[in-house]
Structure 1
């Protein structure tokens, strides 16, 4: 399975704006949390999961998300190339990150906030992998 954007939308009328994502099925979700990077220069990279799935949505500001599908978890190839997504709070787009991917997260605007969903509870499984920010060429 590959990462994909689940498109959200919004509607504005005289009462205000309603932002929604009617195609996002939350039946697998067990945990929710937010991330706020300390600056737009900070890149939170590389962390991911062999088993866990995650869903990302910008609820304030915008983010650049890079994803890499890992070939060998203990010693992945350093030449793996990321795919890049931009998430903005202006729509309620949700990026589905299937199992087997690591991510790099960078805020593109000050005070940006990213909402994350997971299909596992905290400490339910041991499935966290981290690599140095400069481990991958891309």
Structure 2
């Protein structure tokens, strides 16, 4: 005769994202040169390049060297004339992601830079700096 149990099983398995958070939250990689800490080893390795001065990515067209592969790809676009970053609002395209971001502000109206002295918001840091000068504050940015 089988004995009946009143045990209720709950599925407490974690999603892949929850498992990743749980394992990376426990692992901290400490920079041996400064207080910087990273949860991912590759992030620490990239940070270490600041201390060693190593620039493992070199341009085949000139003497430019950098610490990041994506920076080298964008730099090479200057030599080749390639403009892979296209605006979704118009026909504009750019050789650099940040240049496209700046261009897109014209379409989106984004104003990410907030004045610390009033409610003014600027689309870029340079415009905010010019605005702050209107406050006539000593030591302005």
Determine if the TM-score, normalized by the shorter chain, exceeds 0.5. Answer: no
Larger radius of gyration: 2
Which of the pair is proportionally richer in strand? 1
TM bracket, shorter-chain basis? under 0.3
TM, length-normalised to structure 1: 0.20
Which of the pair is proportionally richer in helix? 2
TM, length-normalised to structure 2: 0.20
Q: Which has the higher contact order (CA 8 A, sep 6+)?
A: 1
